[in-house]
Structure 1
Amino acid sequence: MASKWIKPVLASALLTIGLAGCNTTDNSSESKEAKPAEEESKVVNVYTARHYEADDQVYKNFTEETGIEVNVVKAEAEELIERLKREGESTNADLFITVDGGVLANAKNNDVLQPIESDAINENVPDNLRDKENYWVGMSTRARVIVYAKDRVNPEDLSTYEDLTSDKWKGKVLARSSTSLYNQSLLASFIELNGEEKAEEWAEGIVNNFARQPDGGDRDQAKAIAAGTGDVGIMNTYYVGLMANSEDPEEKKVAENIGVFYPNQETNGTHVNVSGIGLTKHSKNKENALKLVEYMTDVEAQEYLSANNYEFPVNPEAQMPELLKSWGEFKMQELDFDTLGEHNAKAIEIFNKTGWK
């Protein structure tokens, strides 16, 4: 791997667009006003809900390779979508990047994106990880899996998401709050695949088997397993990777003591959360924007993101780090990611009805 792909410590070379009304979490970056295309053609402006140093390093490497400057605004996805709607034709944003297929569908349905037309991108990203009308393309995925205590659970006793509702897991299941978009999309996928009634039965069964009331994020579920609060949890794979390679000794120890299990391999497959990129409807730097998407979905950048953020690459030619390989291969749920957005309100309704707080 070329030296430019060394793991970043700080992405301070990136320039963040300091526009009024935007909340950015990239406090280490300088602030710079985005320039319209007629003033500066070697630029691409990105609105992103992803807040990772690995992404920042990819932008930096793209600039070094192409001379095209990447300006970044970071905020929550919903805020960025509303901002794109408010700005309309006057927006300087060229790309919208976020986590979750339902959110990407929401951006599409709010008419802030346009189709992405690029043979190179189509070659990099398979059909099942692109919007059916190409309003967005995937850049990485995470699997929402069952994690378990290695010292207390035999993985042969694990099978499906549905099995977590059985009596053998009474008082042993851990999960984060129903306000988590990850959990909302997981339940939305069950609504799509199994129907509302079965989805509600599953949510109610999980609530009945909780080891404690939902608390904290995905990492906290792993820590609760390590502490003996519960034996199994629902968690995104990339958090396990981040903990296993954390500078915090406690997180490393937790990761060493939990196993990763891909559920539903004999049925509908394991639920996957996709991060994706959309081309904004009123992009002023469309050519540069497409170059960045092509770059981010090509093998080298895909391998870097996977090695540093422990996500699965969307490009099938990209290699994964050994940790991800050690978890084995898995079958992914097959569904239209648009349906996650369509069923989001019903998923929240079911969570509230079943007492999943």
Structure 2
Amino acid sequence: MRSLFIASLMGATALPALAEEVNVYSHRQPELLKPLTDAFTEATGITVNTAYVEKGMVERLKAEGDRSPADLIMTVDVARLGEVKDAGVTQPVEDEALDVVPETLRDADDQWFGLTTRARIVYASKERVADGEVTSYEDLADPKWKGRICTRPFTHDYNVALTAAYLAHHGPEETRAWLEGVKANLAKPAEGSDRAQVKSIWAGECDISLGNTYYMGKMLEDEEQKEWAESVRIVFPVFEDGGTHVNVSGVAMTASSPNKEAAAKLMEFLVSDEAQKIYAETNYEFPVSDHVERSEIVKSWGEFTPDSTPLSEISKLRPEALTLIEDVNFDG
């Protein structure tokens, strides 16, 4: 059954069964994980089969039930990690090696663990935004930004998580007022991706946008997008009573994992210094381990203080945050 994993998910020819393997359902493209899985296989001899499941992860796991070949779920955003936990398709993992993950970046019940972090920051025009002009998330609702802000839809997971973090700091009434203020300041309707907003700044359509830090690295390595990236600088806003909002890529073990021992070894590897360094160098993300250095380009973006609100708390507030976003018709 397990040797049919790749065949059943990707239409490939069935392969002979291997002595040890780990089957991963991933929201991230397999090529982004390949440097990590290759290093793990080289170190352990354990094969990693990765299937890209862009949508319907929970539905797929529920449908497969105990017969699911999946051992691990790898995904981005605390919202998706909270979703798989709430659906009952994961199991707790107690492993001392995973203690390297700070408590704020893991589930309180050990159902999921952050592997890397990325900050939700402001991209600001080098030409039209002065140093120190934007300092906080709260400031984005100030009328001084009217007609100057671009953003992807706020119903997107990244902005839902940011809104949930705002909710954790300020409560529902202030969060609703903040959403209305930011919407009133938009230069155009919320649409597109984080990179598209940087292109809009470059084109003079707006002056600041919300985005994830790693997109700066991705844009700089793209010949077409490099010019967009060079037109902006990264600003690390903070909550008035906290730090900069961060989100994670993370991992969870499925409730029916057929290869638990091998899967646990992969989880241990993913938080090791070797794997954390690979993340830092190839994906422009921040390691969860404090003693692993950031890549040189990531260092160049400057230092910041991550917000201390546990992501497990933010995950619980996600449904309320989404309701507020929809109530103000932010994307309308």
Q: Same fold (TM over 0.5)?
A: yes
Match status 1:195 vs 2:171: yes
Match status 1:67 vs 2:41: no
Match status 1:93 vs 2:70: yes
Alpha-carbon deviations, 1:32-66, whole Å to 9, x = none? 6588xxx5431010011112633112112211221
Q: 1:54 to 1:149 in 2, by over 3 A?
A: same
Letter in 1 for 2:12: S
Instruction: Specify the SS of the correspondent of 2:210.
Output: strand
Match of 2:185 in 1: 209
Q: Distance in 2 between matches of 1:146 and 1:293?
A: 32
Q: Determine if contact 1:138/1:314 at 8 Å carries over to the other structure.
A: yes
Q: Give identity over the alignment, percent.
A: 38
Q: Determine if contact 2:169/2:241 at 8 Å carries over to the other structure.
A: no
* Match of residue 315, structure 1, among 271, 289, 311: 289
Match status 1:117 vs 2:94: yes
Deviation at 1:284, TM superposition (A): 1.2
Deviation at 1:348, TM superposition (A): 2.4
Query: In the TM superposition, what are the counterparts of 1:39-54 in structure 2 within 5 Å?
Result: 40-51=18-29, 53-54=31-32
Letter in 1 for 2:97: A
Q: Distance in 2 between matches of 1:172 and 1:52?
A: 37
Match of 2:277 in 1: 303
Match of 2:248 in 1: 274
Match of 2:200 in 1: 224
Match of 2:107 in 1: 131
Q: Distance in 1 between matches of 2:69 and 2:226?
A: 41
Q: Determine if contact 1:16/1:31 at 8 Å carries over to the other structure.
A: no
Alpha-carbon deviations, 1:304-354, whole Å to 9, x = none? 111111111111121111121112221112223233333333222222222
Instruction: Specify the SS of the correspondent of 2:297.
Output: helix
Deviation at 1:222, TM superposition (A): 0.5
Letter in 2 for 1:177: P
Q: Determine if contact 1:140/1:311 at 8 Å carries over to the other structure.
A: yes
Alpha-carbon deviations, 1:234-287, whole Å to 9, x = none? 0111111111122x2x31111112111111165221111111100111111111
Deviation at 1:197, TM superposition (A): 0.7
Q: Distance in 2 between matches of 1:251 and 1:350?
A: 34
Instruction: Specify the SS of the correspondent of 2:247.
Output: strand
Q: Distance in 2 between matches of 1:130 and 1:340?
A: 11
Instruction: Specify the SS of the correspondent of 1:350.
Output: helix
Match of 1:102 in 2: 79
Q: Determine if contact 2:73/2:254 at 8 Å carries over to the other structure.
A: yes
Q: 1:42 to 1:32 in 2, by over 3 A?
A: farther
Q: Distance in 1 between matches of 2:103 and 2:326?
A: 35
Alpha-carbon deviations, 1:74-132, whole Å to 9, x = none? 112x512221122121111110111111221221121111111221222x322222211
Letter in 2 for 1:31: A
Q: Distance in 1 between matches of 2:242 and 2:69?
A: 41
Q: Determine if contact 1:41/1:285 at 8 Å carries over to the other structure.
A: no
Instruction: Specify the SS of the correspondent of 1:332.
Output: coil
Alpha-carbon deviations, 1:175-205, whole Å to 9, x = none? 1112311111111111122101111111100
Task: Report the TM-score when normalising by structure 2.
Answer: 0.93
Q: Distance in 1 between matches of 2:88 and 2:80?
A: 13
Letter in 2 for 1:93: A
Match of 1:18 in 2: 7
Letter in 2 for 1:73: A
Q: 1:205 to 1:266 in 2, by over 3 A?
A: closer
Q: Determine if contact 1:188/1:347 at 8 Å carries over to the other structure.
A: yes
Q: Distance in 2 between matches of 1:180 and 1:265?
A: 20
Letter in 2 for 1:239: Y
Task: Report the TM-score when normalising by structure 1.
Answer: 0.87
Q: How many residues are paired up?
A: 328
Match of 1:354 in 2: 328
Q: 1:52 to 1:90 in 2, by over 3 A?
A: closer
Instruction: Specify the SS of the correspondent of 2:132.
Output: helix
Instruction: Specify the SS of the correspondent of 1:282.
Output: coil
Q: Determine if contact 2:105/2:310 at 8 Å carries over to the other structure.
A: no
